[in-house]
Amino acid sequence: MEDTVLGDRLTEVVGRTINTFNTSSSEGPLSEDAPLFVCGSPMRRDPEIGARVATGLGRLSAELPMVLDAPDDFPVQDLVVNIGLILREA
């Protein structure tokens, strides 16, 4: 999928997800100040996808901090889910 099409699709899906959360959560709506983190292999190809999605939703974009001591070429975006699962167990 082209990065532009992917960005548009992510904006649509994340927007619907936020709207659903805002209307159905007992915690109340998601703060407008809550940053948006977009992760995954496409971000390695085009790191601006996250910023475009956030801008399309009127939100701030943020990068996940790297909490592991890993080499610069470590494929964080490809393994972000696995890293999260490992850290959850720690």
pLDDT along the chain (90 residues), means of 10: 86 96 93 91 86 94 84 88 83
pLDDT of residue 90: 63
CA distance 70 to 88: 18
Q: What domain range includes position 83? A: 3-89
Distances (CA, A) of 74 to 6, 36, 83, 87, 88: 24, 23, 12, 16, 20
Query: For the chain, how many structural domains are there in total?
Result: 1
Which residues does residue 36 pair with via DSSP β-bridges, in sequence order? 61
